[in-house]
Amino acid sequence: MNLFVMGLVFVAGFFATMQAGVNYILSEYLRSDLLAALVSFVVGSIGLFIFIVIYGLEIPGISSLIRVPWWAWLGGLLGAFLVTVTIYAVPKLGATTMFAVFIGGQMIASVIFDHFGILGYPEHPVSWIRMLGIALVFSGVVLIKYY
């Protein structure tokens, strides 16, 4: 296993929880979940642009962009939906329940995408152990929410 990559993903997960709280506070000041999500994406885009300039990455030309499948452009919309939903859900569910349910959804999608090798994921067939893992995640959601 690549411990560096796993560590990076762990930190990203930690920051995702932090981001949801920060964006919720922003939404309180802006009085809108959607405006907070927009500001979050604008600030993030500026940050990414700065990194692109610092690293000297080449911007692809129009001919390269035209070859991208239409559905590959949906990542930004999916991200906007994700950020907006977490802003909305934070005060209603709290961080622990929100992310437990979130992770449950990720687990279901992950098993499906892995089983069929969708979106470039390597194929990993569904097994009873994986299904048990998902059942344990959902059991954890119930325990976190109600106890």
| Residue 89 CB partners (closer than 8 Å, separation 6+) | 20, 98
- What's the pLDDT score for residue 52? 96
Domain that holds residue 33: 3-146
Assigned token pair, 48: 């990414």
Q: Could you tell me the pLDDT band of residue 1, with boundaries at 50, 70 and 90?
A: low
The total domain count for the chain is 1
Are residues 141 and 108 in contact, defined by beta-carbon separation less than 8 angstroms? no
pLDDT in tens, 85-96: 999 999 999 988
Give the other-Cβ count within 10 Å of 95's Cβ: 16
Q: Which residue has the tokens 């964006």?
A: 23
Mean pLDDT of 84-111: 90
pLDDT in tens, 33-63: 999 999 999 999 999 999 999 999 998 999 9
Which pTM does this prediction carry?
A: 0.82
